[in-house]
Amino acid sequence: MSKFTVLNHPLIQHKLTIIRNERTGTRVFREVANEIAELMVYEMTRDLPLEDVEVTTPMGKSTQKTLTGKKLAVIPILRAGLGMVDGVLRLIPAAKVGHIGMYRDEKTLKPHEYFVKLPSDIDQRELFIVDPMLATGGSANMAIEALKKRGAKKMRLVVLVAAPEGVKSVQEAHPDVDIYAASLDEKINENGYIFPGLGDAGDRLFGTK
């Protein structure tokens, strides 16, 4: 069974409350969603491996720490996942960015893949798949499958708000993919939205409706 971790640092909880508020407009929503993603990645990368390097300071030679050449990539699930990319890149500016597009069939409600563009060395990278909302887990599961089919080996799923149903579904389908959320909410309502959630993340990020 994969790990599910709620990263509930006080700053993350405070910022999540701001974007949950229905009165928060597009500009602030966009900025704060990225700030939360940035703080989450800060917490998630505590275990990145370090190695020694020689550095000459103005005072002389010394041995210090640097990150080992671990390769990362951020994979937003379109479209709402785009709202977390800048936040991740603020901390890991050298990460490559791949994109996965999914749409939901209006009749079957099942997700379908319509666009996949990934770094060529995806099998050698650790992937941070980002999507603000983990509701049923349908599109996350499909994105993970699409990545595995193309050679991805090591992935983590990073969401702002998770519903218990989605966490269970991803853990069952992909026991090798750890999940990180800023909050575990109550449930999915009868319209497929997370409650209390924050509404439609894509619409709120891009000002559409």
Which chain residues interact with ligand URA by CB under 6 A?
80, 133, 135, 193-194, 197, 200-202
Q: Write out the DSSP string of 156-203.
A: EEEEEEE-HHHHHHHHHH-TT-EEEEEEE-SEE-TTS-EESS-S-HHH
Dihedral sign computed on CA atoms, order 149, 146, 166, 37: positive
Q: 92 vs 194, which CB is nearer to ligand URA? A: 194
For residue 45, the minimal CB distance to ligand URA (Å) is 26
Residue pair 38/90 in contact (Cβ under 8 Å)? The answer is yes
Catalytic residues: 104, 108, 200, 203
For residue 194, the minimal CB distance to ligand URA (Å) is 4
Q: 118 vs 166, which CB is nearer to ligand URA? A: 166
CA 156, chain centre distance (Å):
8
For residue 68, the minimal CB distance to ligand URA (Å) is 36
Strands (E) in 42-153, as ranges, are 50-57, 60-67, 72-78, 96-97, 99-104, 111-117, 126-130, 133-134
Is 87 among the annotated ligand-binding positions? no
For residue 181, the minimal CB distance to ligand URA (Å) is 13
Q: 141 vs 152, which CB is nearer to ligand URA? A: 141
Q: 20 vs 99, which CB is nearer to ligand URA? A: 20
Burial 128-148 (b: 16+ CB within 10 A, else e): bbbbbbbbbbbbbbbbbebbe
Is 132 among the annotated ligand-binding positions? yes
Is 109 among the annotated ligand-binding positions? no
Q: State the binding site for uracil.
A: 194, 199-201
Q: State the binding site.
A: 79, 104, 131-139, 194, 199-201
Q: State the binding site for 5-phospho-alpha-D-ribose 1-diphosphate.
A: 79, 104, 131-139, 200
